[in-house]
Amino acid sequence: MVLRATPEKREEKERVRQALLRAALRLGAQHGFASLGLREVSRAADIAPTSFYRHFSDMPELGLALVRELVNPMVHTLVTQASEGGALSERLADALVAAVNADAELVRFMVAERVGAFVILRRAIAAEFDVLTSVLAKTQRSGPRAARSSFAAAAALALIYDGLVRALDVQPDQRAALREQLIAQLAYVLEASDPNEGSDA
Amino acid sequence: MVLRATPEKREEKERVRQALLRAALRLGAQHGFASLGLREVSRAADIAPTSFYRHFSDMPELGLALVRELVNPMVHTLVTQASEGGALSERLADALVAAVNADAELVRFMVAERVGAFVILRRAIAAEFDVLTSVLAKTQRSGPRAARSSFAAAAALALIYDGLVRALDVQPDQRAALREQLIAQLAYVLEASDPNEGSDA
DNA sequence: TGTACATCAGTGAACGCGCGTTCACTGATGTAC
DNA sequence: TGTACATCAGTGAACGCGCGTTCACTGATGTAC
């Protein structure tokens, strides 16, 4: 006798689960994910501390869910936007600024936990970033001087990561200026390896 | 009546203070600085919890001391080593690997708290990194195409930061390979802006 | 249709524990005269 | 030289508090027949 929850039930459970994830993200952006407690997050999500266990066995498991269910889609959106038409440097800078504007808390979590306390989270986030690197390398490999393209991809990824960090520490109205700066920096490292790549801007 | 502590007394106090700083660094590398408690650090430094207050008023103040007294010298050593003779890319890569070999815990603290939970620590560490950027920009400015030199400096700093992060997540015996990779990447972004810069390796 | 039973998210009470902080104290070592 | 006093790093007891976790329970809603 296998009982299945009704769609409404599953939907309701998912709502609470999302509330927990968002609460952890918001509080983690303020005090750091490693210092978050199960009670603190549950309180912010308006459930009893004991109800936490209906969704996650502990905080690290919640962190992994954050990577799988929120960081992963964000990185893929970033890759998709960067693969659309136009100059690569511009597309990357736009996608980056868009990510920070759309969900600064998630970006904060991503860049912080990439070098954070939990090994398991560092690994998971590094894996997400690797997707971005290989996409960049592929884009570059289409041009000449393929050997140098991996250097360009590595430098571009480092600039992107650095750009995310700087965008977070800057007022929203200054992000346009940061975008211009990023475009120039990315063009510098990307176009040097392949002059055929778009350089109209 | 101003009483001054004898040199031996001050020395002894300094020893305990250093024990606290090192303990915080070691534990912070494992569980993250934001999650450290005053009692935990005091225990690791072999003093009573109440004695902590003879040195710092709270953990954030200890964190600031870490930046001022340990991060600052490390960055300056890095700058000094990078300013010696030889190809710039090599000097930078060597200085970076040397820093990780000499004090991985300190490097971990530095890169983690640069994007960590405490605003005050983020600011302090960003200020230290700015020194490195200006030194890089000056080195580049000596060559032609001065306008592009700031892009090269920004890209190089991003690569350096990225290199530190990767060096930490790699076994010590793999750091030689990472050094080679870094030299190539740095040469790529630095020499592109100034072909006159050393490129013998 | 009614009845018995299963599932399961959410709950409140209770537990033992480590936390940050306060306090009054000790003991070594200085200065004043 | 001796005596009175000041300084100050380190300490142990005690406090109130929030933590993670266990437990038995509720109530809504499913299935079996």
Tell me the mean pLDDT in the region A146-174. Answer: 87
pLDDT at A143 over 60: no
Q: Classify residue A41 as exposed, middle or buried by CB count within 10 Å of its CB (0-12, 13-18, 19+).
A: buried
Contacts of B114 in chain A (CB under 8 A): 165
Report pLDDT for B195. Answer: 41
Closest nucleotide C1' to the C-alpha of A13: C9
Report pLDDT for A199. Answer: 38
> Which nucleotides of chain C does any protein CB come within 7 A of?
6-14, 18-24, 29-32
Report pLDDT for B140. Answer: 67
Angle at B136 between CA B132 and CA B142, to 5 degrees: 150
User: In chain A, what is the straight-line distance between the N-terminal and C-terminal CA atoms, in Å?
Assistant: 64
Asked if the Cβ of residue A51 lies within 7 A of any atom of strand D, the reply is: no
- In this structure, the dihedral spanned by the alpha carbons of residues B176, B180, B181 and B186, taken in order and rounded to 10 degrees, is 130
Region of B86 on the Ramachandran plot (φ > 0 left; ψ -120 to 50 alpha; else beta): left
Report pLDDT for B147. Answer: 52
Quick one: pLDDT band at residue A180, thresholds 50, 70, 90? very high
pTM of the model: 0.89
A104 shares contact with chain B (CB less than 8 Å): no
Q: B54: Cβ–Cβ under 8 A, 6 or more apart, which residues? A: B13
Of A5-9, A11-15, B131-135, B196-200, the one with minimum mean pLDDT is B196-200
Quick one: pLDDT band at residue A5, thresholds 50, 70, 90? low
Q: Cβ of A162 and B151 within 8 Å?
A: no
Report pLDDT for B190. Answer: 86
A14 shares contact with chain B (CB less than 8 Å): no
Report pLDDT for B26. Answer: 97
Ramachandran angles phi, psi of A6, nearest 5°: -70, 155
Q: Cβ of B188 and A189 within 8 Å?
A: yes
pLDDT < 70 stretches in chain B: 1-7, 140-148, 192-201
pLDDT at A11 over 70: yes
What is the C-alpha to C-alpha distance for residues B16 and B48, in angstroms, rounded to an integer? 11
Report pLDDT for B169. Answer: 87
pLDDT at A3 over 60: no
Report pLDDT for B181. Answer: 93
